[in-house]
Structure 1
Amino acid sequence: MLVALHAQADEAASGSVEATNLDQVRVVAQRAERVSNGATNLDLAIKDTPQSISEVTSEQMQAFGVNTVNDALRMATGIVVDEWETNRTTYTARGFDIANTQIDGIGLPNGWGIATSSTDSFAYEKLEVIRGANGLLTGVGNAAGTINYVRKRPTNEEQGVVGISYGTWGTKRVEADYSTPFTADGSWAGRVVAAHEDGDSWLRGKSDKRDFFYGVVDGQIGENGTLTAGYSRQKTRTDGNMWGALTFMYSDGTQAEWDRGASTTQDWTMWDTTTDSGFIEYTHQVAEDWQLKLAYNYRQITNDTKLFYATDYFGTGLEPGTNLGLYGYPWGGWDKTTAHLGSATINGHFDMFGLDQEVMFGVSYARSEGNNKEYAGAMCGDAVCGYLPMPGFPWAGDVIPEPVWGDLSLYSTLNQRLKRAYGAARLSFTDRLKAVVGVNYANYHRDGVNYGVVFDQTEGKTSPYGGLTFDFNEHVLGYVSYSDIYQPQEQSDADGRYLDPTKGSNYEVGVKADWFDKRLLTTIALFKAEQDGLATGAGYNDNGQYYYTGVDVESKGVEFEATGKVSENVNLVFGYTALKLTGDDGDDTYRWVPRRTANLMLSARLPSYTALQFGLGGRWQSNISNVESSDFAVRQDSYAVLNGFVAWDFLPDATLRFNVKNITDEKYINSLRYSGYYGAPRSYTVSLDWRF
């Protein structure tokens, strides 16, 4: 059937692709050909990679009015964005937390997998989501996947865009993106990206402000070298944020329902996050088909917080009629994490069996230091702050006065080191049968102290990776792949010590096919992953600290994705994931993870008037639940959130856009992982972009 459909598509397709002669200046050619080395650090197209990979492009983000990484990842196939607090988010895929992130294919593991604050997405050309274990690329990895942030780079021609927007809750945004060559031959160029956004929220008392800047320069060094250097800073401030979220259970087992703006916050709460990132890359053409790349990446994140936590302290649920039963706890602190990563890779091509082969070797060294402090002896009136009985919920934002904060006191330090040596090859046995094989050695060390518990752990692991691809014809490719799982964990056991790394294996088999003269790519994949000793919440220890235990979990399922153009003027992304999770709780393991998800992005231009563009997109998920108190489960039925836009290029270089999010005004609890609150109601944004 695939062959027959492709034959029809080929007969209907018209047009040809003309070869382009690139400028002799090598850095200009590199900019024109720049690709992200996704899952393997090899120069493989998505179709030729033996894993499932999705992309969210800057054009898609702009069309649907997406300005944050959280909203961008909601557009990706198979990704669940769990915003279980207003300032902390966890991303999951295939039932597991995505604990690894990269920038331009390299980066430190993301530890626990928690993203703090809302990261602006304007600096990225695209986001790549590599689903399944990816130990070859990161040296560590679990069965969820990896998020790769691909930065914008200088362009060969001068270009720029300025945009302004205004939306619901008084949300205002200004952004600018400008790139220009510095020299006549284009050998040196630079790019600057900046954005400012601030506004209120549908949640009571909450407001956000975000400033972002990114600058990058690249150019040619001698005849065979290129140098790239960049720096970015983002400062975010949230006032009226929640620490934890809402309680939904009554003591009689019924589930409470609140207004969508319900919040436990107090007026004095705040969360400031500053993220500084810098990088330097040097690439040298060693020979005609061999290239050496040296890279250094730096990242520093600081958080300054004053928080208020509300909880059903005794686990009995709220009292029906009065809504009493919650206790509040004020807390404040400051933390800083600094990370460094240096890497060296060499890759090249050679002939064997009369066919082109590719190989890559690399080494890297990463280290990070983290310090966490809290306000010691914060006073609530005449007593040290503890859990305070609260009035019936919902309450106002001035119920608990701001504490008198004491001095900052260090309570936790964490030092991490990761050394890697790795290699990969793409071997062509015939024109149709190819293999991707690799091996990675990782030596991981961490030491520090956590609330008085001293730890010092070192472990090494050698992991293989293997995949086979077979071209059934020029349009259809089949693949199988295997990867080891090895992921250090930052969750602690009942004694306050970090759990051992989770280990296991990941298998995937699939078919990728292109359609309509290679404008549309479809992927269907079957996957199975086994993770042993995976950190799973177990309750509170004698000191009142939440602790975890290692659980063996298995995930298996199927994914489908179609992405590209179905015609000259119609773009489509459609994805569907169905999975089964089993562990100590049987099929109820991680019940807050939806077992079925679907995503859609459909956009089009009128053939008779291409200046007018419109689109519809959204996301659907199946029901979720979790035990909140007294062994009663909070439930959220299946739901869909639909978004749409209309854009008009009223001038060749100017676009007016109108976006609507949550068109049907669906009311839903956004997450039940730890706690949750209601997602945003229907909202509107009007924006104007001017290109030059």
Structure 2
Amino acid sequence: MTVFQRIFESRWNLGDALTDTALYERVEVVRGANGLMAGTGNPSASINMIRKHATSREFKGNVSTEYGSWNKQRYVMDLQSPLTADGNVRGRIVAGYQNNDSWLDRYNSEKAFFSGIVDADLGTTTNLSAGYEYQKIDVNSPTWGGLPRWNTDGSKNSYDRARSTAPDWAYNNKEINKFFVTLKQRFAESWQATLNATHTEVKFDSKMMYIDALVDKETGTLVSPYGASYPVVGGTGWNSGKRKVDAIDLFADGAYELFGRQHNMMFGGSYSKQNNRYFSAWANVFPDDIGNFSAFNGNFPQTHWAPQNLAQDDTTHMKSLYAATRISLADPLHLILGARYTNWRVDTLTYSMEKNHTTPYAGLIYDINDNWSAYASYTSIFQPQNKRDKAGQYLAPITGNNYEAGLKSDWMNSRLTTTLSVFRIEQNKRRSGNHYSHPWQ
């Protein structure tokens, strides 16, 4: 499994969670601290999305349509075919379109996506894959935050589930372009070297509004929760920009024999570079701008936008070397040992930060029977943060340790898996909550 790490900037939504699964064969989830595989990791999980490949040496495909609630319509085409007579070069395309409204007032989402890939057998031991992926996602009247929860008298508000704070001019659009190539070379009977490289560009442009206020039940007027000195009840924002990511990963994995037993090993190195360049313009919303919030139906005049200012321009570099081995101590007992060295650096317009970290990993697995295994593991945590301090600088990466022990089971060829575990997580340099006087902080 190969993981290319991206550092997500919390202030911007670039659609990382919106990738259409029609482009992928399957999704793998690795639960727990994942620093050995990803270079940076936390105690939650990592997700590995496996692309569809051209595996068929004969033409085949399928076309699907879907209609549903809220005017949903969806069309997907998936075709693959040999490109040479012997089938050693194959192609596959996946394309689709989706449009749907929502239970939310005024909301509409339109999405188009495409993937094209060529897989080639360059010999009996060499395979090459190269492809391109595109997605365009346009959302009209998206929400930006929730509905006002409290009234000025301390009582709670209740709303129809269709209620939305989004004005009818709001939008959030994204365009994603990815180029990727994979080269695999088998050698020495049981070994394989793999080279992965990707280039990704994500563009986004959005104009949205949020509400942050109390509600006067009698008049429907919004009231600032920050007092008369700051009578702001929300804001509008025009945000746009681009993120570019270049990543390369080279590793080898295979089996070796030692002390009369068969073991496995994996080692390699990776490099990634991510540039974020974003622009923004902001405006305050005052109570008189909205009037009676109870009658609000999206009819809020669009802001007279000022020119955008540069909000962020930084580049993150990450270099890693890693190795891991699975040692067979006995037929039912396996020891996993590994380590990863990571050099992480972020360069901004005003400062730079660089950190080096070695992530060790140790695990012991005992196979009770064909279905059940007991395990214990330890790994360290290294997680760069997208949070900033009062001066606007990134906080230092989170470090710590993760300990876990438990039972796992596997049934029906992995169609059903279960886990029962206990764990302990220790984290240092984690951001503590701060409370500020107004939302711009």
- Relative to the length of structure 1, the TM-score reads 0.59
Q: How far 1:397 sits from its partner (Å)?
A: 4.2
Q: How far 1:254 sits from its partner (Å)?
A: 2.3
Pairing 1:4-403 to 2, within 5 Å after superposition: 37=1, 105-112=2-9, 116-117=14-15, 118-156=18-56, 157-312=58-213, 317-326=214-223, 327-375=233-281, 385-389=283-287, 390-403=290-303
Q: Distance in 2 between matches of 1:442 and 1:112?
A: 20
Q: Distance in 2 between matches of 1:269 and 1:180?
A: 42
Q: CA contact under 8 A between 1:264 and 1:394: conserved in structure 2? A: no
Q: How far 1:431 sits from its partner (Å)?
A: 1.0
Q: How far 1:115 sits from its partner (Å)?
A: 5.8
Q: Distance in 1 between matches of 2:328 and 2:163?
A: 59
Alignment partner, residue 609 of structure 1: none
Q: Distance in 2 between matches of 1:164 and 1:430?
A: 52
Q: Distance in 1 between matches of 2:415 and 2:315?
A: 47
Q: Distance in 1 between matches of 2:325 and 2:164?
A: 53
Q: 2:25 is matched by which residue type in structure 1?
A: E
Q: 2:399 is matched by which residue type in structure 1?
A: K
Q: CA contact under 8 A between 2:14 and 2:203: conserved in structure 1? A: no
Q: How far 1:405 sits from its partner (Å)?
A: 2.7
Q: Distance in 2 between matches of 1:460 and 1:500?
A: 11
Alignment partner, residue 528 of structure 1: 424
Q: 1:434 is matched by which residue type in structure 2?
A: H
- Give the SS at the match of 1:279: strand
Q: Distance in 2 between matches of 1:301 and 1:446?
A: 19
Q: Distance in 1 between matches of 2:222 and 2:62?
A: 53
Q: CA contact under 8 A between 1:214 and 1:231: conserved in structure 2? A: yes
Q: 2:266 is matched by which residue type in structure 1?
A: M
Q: 1:214 is matched by which residue type in structure 2?
A: S
Gaps in structure 2 of 5+ consecutive residues:
224-232
Structure scoring higher RCO (CA < 8 A, sep ≥ 6) equals 1
Name the % identity.
Answer: 32
- Give the SS at the match of 1:347: strand
**Residues 217 and 518 (structure 1 numbering): CA distance in 2 closer, same or farther, change over 3 Å?**
closer
Q: Distance in 1 between matches of 2:181 and 2:61?
A: 24
**Residues 520 and 244 (structure 1 numbering): CA distance in 2 closer, same or farther, change over 3 Å?**
closer
Gaps in structure 1 of 5+ consecutive residues:
1-36, 38-104, 379-384, 547-692
Q: 1:392 is matched by which residue type in structure 2?
A: N
- Give the SS at the match of 1:185: coil
**Residues 438 and 495 (structure 1 numbering): CA distance in 2 closer, same or farther, change over 3 Å?**
same
**Residues 519 and 368 (structure 1 numbering): CA distance in 2 closer, same or farther, change over 3 Å?**
closer
Q: How far 1:353 sits from its partner (Å)?
A: 2.2
Q: CA contact under 8 A between 2:64 and 2:75: conserved in structure 1? A: yes
Q: Distance in 2 between matches of 1:305 and 1:527?
A: 41
Pairing 1:461-610 to 2, within 5 Å after superposition: 461-515=357-411, 520-540=416-436, 545-546=440-441
Q: CA contact under 8 A between 1:132 and 1:145: conserved in structure 2? A: yes
Q: Distance in 1 between matches of 2:365 and 2:87?
A: 39
**Residues 265 and 162 (structure 1 numbering): CA distance in 2 closer, same or farther, change over 3 Å?**
same
Q: Distance in 2 between matches of 1:277 and 1:474?
A: 41
Q: 1:538 is matched by which residue type in structure 2?
A: N
Alignment partner, residue 322 of structure 2: 422
Q: 2:236 is matched by which residue type in structure 1?
A: P
Q: Distance in 1 between matches of 2:335 and 2:155?
A: 56
Q: How far 1:428 sits from its partner (Å)?
A: 0.6
Q: CA contact under 8 A between 1:171 and 1:198: conserved in structure 2? A: yes
Say which is worse superposed, 216-225 or 401-410, in terms of deviation. Answer: 401-410
- Give the SS at the match of 1:169: coil
Deviations 1:560-598 (A, max 9, x none): xxxxxxxxxxxxxxxxxxxxxxxxxxxxxxxxxxxxxxx
Q: Distance in 2 between matches of 1:224 and 1:257?
A: 64
**Residues 245 and 369 (structure 1 numbering): CA distance in 2 closer, same or farther, change over 3 Å?**
same
Q: How far 1:309 sits from its partner (Å)?
A: 1.7
**Residues 184 and 510 (structure 1 numbering): CA distance in 2 closer, same or farther, change over 3 Å?**
farther
Say which is worse superposed, 106-115 or 321-330, in terms of deviation. Answer: 106-115
CA RMSD of aligned residues (A): 2.0
Deviations 1:64-120 (A, max 9, x none): xxxxxxxxxxxxxxxxxxxxxxxxxxxxxxxxxxxxxxxxx3212343578644331
Q: How many residues align?
A: 426
**Residues 366 and 476 (structure 1 numbering): CA distance in 2 closer, same or farther, change over 3 Å?**
same
Q: Distance in 2 between matches of 1:363 and 1:482?
A: 22
Q: 1:443 is matched by which residue type in structure 2?
A: N
Q: How far 1:468 sits from its partner (Å)?
A: 0.7
Deviations 1:225-259 (A, max 9, x none): 11001111110101111122212112333221101
